[in-house]
Amino acid sequence: MAIDRRRAGAFSPLALCLVLVLFLASTASAAVLGIDFGTLNIKAALVKPGIPLDIVLTKDSKRKEVAAVAFKPNRDEKNNIITTPGTFPERAYGGDALSLQGRFPGEVYPNLKMLLGIQPGEDAAQIYQQRYPALQLKQDGKSGATAFKSSAFADDVNPFSVEELIGMELANIKRNAESMAGKDSVVGDAVITVPPFYTAEEKRALVKAANFAGLNVYALISDGLAVGLDYAKTRTFPDVTKDEKPEYHLVYDMGAGSTSATLLRFQAKSVKETRTSNKTVQEVTVLGTGWDRTLGGDAMNHVIMEDFVTKLVQKSGSTTEQQVRSNGRIMGRFFKEAERVRQILSANSETSSGFEEILPDVDLRTKLNRAEFEKMTSGFADRVEQPIKDALAMASLGIEDLTSVIVHGGAIRTPFAQSKLEGLVGAAKIRNSVNPDESAVFGAAFKAASLSPSFRVKEIRDSDVAGYPTSLTYIDKGKSVKQTLFKPTSPVGFGATTKQVTFKDKDDFSFGFVQTVGSVDRPISTFKSDNLTASVEELSSKHGCDKADITTKFSVRLSPLNGLPDVTGGSVSCEVDDSKSGSVGDSVKGWLGFGKKKDQEPLGDDTDGPVEEVEAATSASASTKSSSTSDAASSSKTPEAPKKRTETVNVRVSAAPDEGASSVTEQITDMFQRLKDFDASDKARYAREEAQNVLESYTYQVRDFLENSDYEAFSTKTMRAEIKKLLEQTREWMDSGDLTKATTETLKEKRLALKQLVEPIKTRRTESTSRPKLIKSLQKALDDTQKLILKVEGEAAKASSSFIKAVAEASSSASSVVSKATDAASDVDDLEEPDTASSTTEPPPAPTNPYANLDFTFVQETYDNISKWLRDNLKAQEKLKEHEEPVLSIKDLDSKVAEIKKVMKQLSAEAANARKPKPTQKPKPKPKPKAPKKDKSKPVEGEEAPPAAEPETPVGEAEQDGKKPIKGAESIEDMMDWLKKEKLEHEEL
């Protein structure tokens, strides 16, 4: 089969380089995140130009962060919690947060994923409260969602919503990603994984939490589809256009909070790229899903916790189960240990646990083996198979159709889960083709890169399913009407169907959507038309349309970003008589096969999916037509003159606010401000902690300084005594309770006071050890400058002497040239047209002195000034003692060395330029003599005609006796012939 010809393996950077081609990006915001938001852990992968796709590490260099946040209350000297307005507790994340569970069980918030979009009265909230009894679950008065009351704040402070707390966790992930991306990098876009059973409320709650963290959510992707993308990014699949059969893989994901099964179809397909070429793309399509919301590692941990409770009650004798379960500290310790025990039993047959002082004067020691654990979780084992059966039923496939089962999730390592899967599908079909812990986050990062304009990735067309039925609701003749638009198997993403719903309404109205979860219809959103009435009036007045003939339509699809219904547009239209027929040119184009302009558009490949006509309140589906150009009329057909034309006016649609939306908006604004204040408080706390650490470290440096004898020569006893006294005062102040109250400014002032006494002594020692070397360097630079000045002066003197001699020779030569020119002029006085150009001898060029403009003044002045400065300061420095402030500082010496080297470089450059030979000007070519004009005048009657002229040799013809042609009258051919005969060099011509 096709799977055998591919190499399946875990993710590697080399394989990714073949898949992911990063475009150059000029801004740091090009980085994107893939986030696997789990119940127990959060994992993130970063994609950034220049950085291969990789896991974002925590501050402890771990590849996953525990999904927990905690508040560490501020306390005064009497250990009372400080709840003053404007003060915020310290926040801890991940493992640091869980470590506070024993001390502050009511301020640690783990595993919040199961509460997203959930109200306190629902089953999930009740289970959460049982596991974490110390937490104060409340219902938000405005949104009705679950919230938490914190004892670290005053009673009148609003409780923290689940979205706020998760937003803090995601903001921590974002900071880690930006730290990994590099300095000044900003990570703002992300794709986040969600379980396939998430409802509209849960999805929107997660998006809100991400927005609180400063993240823009590109899309939400189901866990199974994310694993499928990671599986497909380095593979190719059977090409269905070649009649090859697709592959069907089932992703079985058992995590901490839930279990899901996602049935995926993998295939390749040849599609149109241009009119003359095709391309092959990979397709990953979700066909069916199944899930169990409560089957996961947390539920198994709870069973182990119950065993701990039972054994503790038996040992104590006087403590009831209710007392133990209501004790947050005990349950927190039990939950942490239960997670460890379950993981150990996945690989070992037995483990033991110990709890010191779990109750006053009570220590608990327990043992648990795998057989006992499997007996306690036998009810869970029976539930392992159901998600697979549900996914197969939704896809109308059987187990025999599966190519493989891809396992994912931490809880999948539980032995009974493995055995149940093998019994259902067979051991041969179970594949570890992907990383069971990180495949989903890599798939989410791949999806984020494909959605970002900054990256180009392998083209994989993916689609999910709705998961729940979605219905349209509206008022028809005073009655509420519900009409199903999308089924649980309706595709989301590539190839999704757009429903074009026709309404009878001609005036502005509103309609909504509900999602059916179980037997309950949960409202999703409400939309209203903004200009329907005006648009209908426009059709009537401008085009004479009757209201009864006007059609109102709205286009609805499942958004590829979150799988929720979205109204993409609306219009009103009617048919009117078309008085204008097509032009002759249009007809000719049609006959020739060119078609109209719309027929000349590039070929589509069904990327937008089909369009389905739906008649509101009549039937779920009237007809279906594809949006691709394959259904368009062939341009080769002879065009018919249309008798009717359709006039259309667009209708604007907007989301209608729900009741109480203004108060909710105000609440969200307050939440943003509270998170902003929290961040500012954290920054101030970090700054204070840093200042305290720096002060403490500096006191140890001062202590070592006083004990170091190397500094004694550069300080007096009085100086050291003053430093010692201030150091002792500072240490006493730090050991007292005043340190905890000190502000950042006070801590900095304490350090500065010590620094002002210590640093001058350290500086004098550094100056003393470094000064001799710098003095020697400056003296060498001065010597080199003096040598350079003498050398250039010698060259200038030599050049001046040569210049004077050349001037004299040029003057004598000029007199000779003038004499020769005069004689030559007298020889040609009798000629009618003397060749002045050929008879003139040009004088030689005038001599020049290249060093004439060279100025040594600035170099000599700089040399003299620095030399004097060095002599004077050396004398002054020799008179000073080592503990006195120096007059010859390192800084000044460095400055003088740089100054003298600068003028040396400038003088060297000017001298080198003077040494360069000046180019001589070539004499201009002599012009050729003009041919004499012919005398065309006729003799006057009665006068004697002039004698006939003797025949002349034509210009350019050489004489036949082999003599050299006359210069100026020769042709190129003549000269070449003469050269061949005489074998002369060109210079002799």
Spatial separation of the C-alpha atoms in residues 853 and 844, rounded to whole Å: 23
pLDDT tops 80 at residue 359: yes
Which two three-digit tokens encode residue 618?
Answer: 């009549």
- pTM higher than the cut 0.85: no
CA nearest to 701, candidates 668, 736, 666, 731: 731
Query: Strands 278-292, 259-272: parallel, antiparallel or unpaired by DSSP?
Result: antiparallel
pLDDT confidence bin for 800, thresholds 50/70/90:
confident
Residue 638, pLDDT > 60, answer no
For residue 93, what pLDDT is reported? 95
Has residue 29 got a pLDDT over 90? no
Q: How confident is the model at residue 980 (pLDDT cuts 50, 70, 90)?
A: low
241/271 Cα distance (integer angstroms): 9
580 has a pLDDT exceeding 80: no
- Give the residue, 519 or 854, on which the prediction is more confident: 519
Better-scored residue on pLDDT, 577 or 421: 421
Task: Give the Cα separation of 192 and 163 in Å (integer).
Answer: 15
Cβ burial of 112 (10 Å; 0-12, 13-18, 19+) is buried
The torsion region of residue 50 among left (phi > 0), alpha (psi -120 to 50) and beta comes to left
Classify residue 579 by burial, with Cβ atoms within 10 Å: 0-12, 13-18, 19+: exposed
Encoding tokens for residue 238? 């059977």
Q: Considering only residues 692 and 908, tell me which one the structure prediction assigns the higher pLDDT.
A: 692
Q: What distance in Å separates the CA atoms of residue 74 and residue 788, rounded to the nearest whole number?
A: 72
Give the confidence band of 622 by pLDDT, cuts at 50, 70, 90.
very low
DSSP-derived pairing of the beta strands 216-222 and 189-194: parallel
Residue 221 pLDDT: 97
pLDDT for the residue 815: 61
Per the CB < 8 A criterion, the answer to whether 220 and 206 are in contact is yes
Per-residue confidence band for 340, with pLDDT thresholds at 50, 70 and 90: very high
* pLDDT surpassing 50 at residue 631: no
Instruction: Write out pLDDT tens, residues 643-672.
Output: 778 889 999 999 877 655 556 777 788 889
Q: Which tokens is 646 given?
A: 């359709």
Structural fold of domain 661-809+849-910: Substrate Binding Domain Of Dnak; Chain:A; Domain 2 (1.20.1270)
Q: Looking at the predicted structure, is the pLDDT value of residue 334 above 50?
A: yes
The alpha carbon of 56 is separated from its chain's Cα centroid by a whole number of angstroms, namely 13
Residue with the larger pLDDT of the pair 407 and 186: 407
Cα(300)–Cα(289) distance, integer angstroms: 23
In this prediction, residues 861-867 reach a mean pLDDT of: 91
Query: What's residue 974's pLDDT?
Result: 57
Q: What is the mean pLDDT of residues 237-264?
A: 95
In CATH, 297-381 is 3.90.640.10: yes
Three-state DSSP state, 114: helix
Q: How far apart are CA 593 and CA 609, in angstroms?
A: 27
Q: Are 466 and 486 in contact (CB under 8 A)?
A: yes
Residue 638 CB contacts under 8 Å (≥ 6 apart), including other chains: 590, 591
Tell me if 129 sits within 8 A of 137, measured CB to CB.
Answer: yes
- Residue 274: pLDDT band (50, 70, 90) is confident
Lowest mean pLDDT, pick from 343-357, 554-568, 592-606? 592-606
Which helix (H) or strand (E) element contains residue 281?
Answer: strand 278-292
What is residue 641's predicted lDDT score, i.e. its pLDDT? Answer: 55
Which residue would you say has higher pLDDT here, 828 or 528?
528
Q: In whole angstroms, what is the distance from residue 295 CA to residue 434 CA?
A: 22
Give whole-number Cα distances, 158 to 139, 677, 819, in Å.
11, 14, 113
What is the pLDDT at residue 292?
96
Other CB atoms closer than 10 Å to residue 316's CB: what's the count?
A: 17
Number of other CB atoms surrounding residue 376 within 10 Å = 15
Residue 601 pLDDT exceeds 50 = no
Q: Percentage of the chain with pLDDT > 70?
A: 79
Hey, how many other C-beta atoms are within 10 angstroms of the C-beta on 827?
A: 10
Distance from C-alpha of 57 to C-alpha of 55, rounded to nearest angstrom: 6
Rg (C-alpha) for the chain, rounded Å, is 46
Please give the structure tokens belonging to residue 112. 């919040």
Model confidence at 36: pLDDT above 50? yes
Question: How confident is the model at residue 819, as a pLDDT?
Answer: 57
First-to-final CA distance of the chain: 88
Asked if residue 332 lies in contact with residue 358, where contact means CB atoms within 8 angstroms, the answer is no
Cα 396 versus chain centre, distance: 41
HEC readout, 519-574: CEEEEEEEEEECCHHHHHHHHHHHHCCCHHHCEEEEEEEECCCCCCEEEEEEEEEE
Question: Would the CA dihedral through 713, 715, 721, 727 be positive or negative?
Answer: negative
- CA 72 vs. chain centroid, Å, equals 33
pLDDT band at 806 (very low <50, low <70, confident <90, very high): confident
Dist CA 613 CA 502 (whole Å): 8
Short-list 629, 505, 618, 625, CA closest to 570 = 505
Q: 596 pLDDT band (50/70/90 cuts)?
A: very low
Alpha-helix residue ranges (DSSP H) falling in 841-984: 857-879, 890-915, 972-982
- CA 969 – CA 404 distance, rounded (Å): 98
Task: Please state, as a whole number, how many other Cβ atoms lie within 10 Å of the Cβ of residue 517.
Answer: 15
| Beta-sheet pairing, 611-615 with 136-139 | unpaired
SS3 of 988, please?
helix
Q: Note whether 227 and 443 are within 8 A (CB).
A: yes
Predicted confidence band at 270 (pLDDT cuts at 50, 70, 90)? very high
Q: How confident is the model at residue 575 (pLDDT cuts 50, 70, 90)?
A: confident
Q: Which residue has better confidence, 1 or 113?
A: 113
- pLDDT at residue 222, as a whole number: 97
- Would the pLDDT of 96 be above 60? yes
Residue 631 neighbours by CB under 8 Å, 6+ apart:
625
Q: Is the pLDDT of residue 619 over 70?
A: no
Q: Of 519-533, 897-911, 914-928, where does mean pLDDT reach its minimum?
A: 914-928
Confidence category of residue 939, pLDDT binned at 50, 70, 90: very low
Domain with CATH 3.30.420.40 in the chain: 12-295+385-461
Q: Is the pLDDT of residue 478 over 70?
A: yes
Average pLDDT over residues 324-352: 91
Tell me yes or no: is domain 12-295+385-461 CATH 3.30.420.40.
Answer: yes
Give dist(CA 796, CA 798) in Å, integer.
5
How large is the average pLDDT for residues 841-866? 74
Sign of CA dihedral 142, 145, 149, 152: negative
Strand partners, 492: 464
CB atoms within 10 A of CB 976: 10
8 Å CB contact between 733 and 750:
yes
What's the pLDDT band for 855 if we cut at 50, 70, 90?
Answer: confident
* Tokens, residue 371: 């057989």
8-state DSSP, 919: P
3-state secondary structure of 933: coil
Which conformational region is residue 756 in: left (phi greater than 0), alpha (psi within -120 to 50 degrees), or beta?
A: alpha
Which ranges of 552-660 would DSSP assign to H, the alpha helix? Answer: 584-592
CB atoms within 10 A of CB 702: 20
Bridge partner list, 81: 75
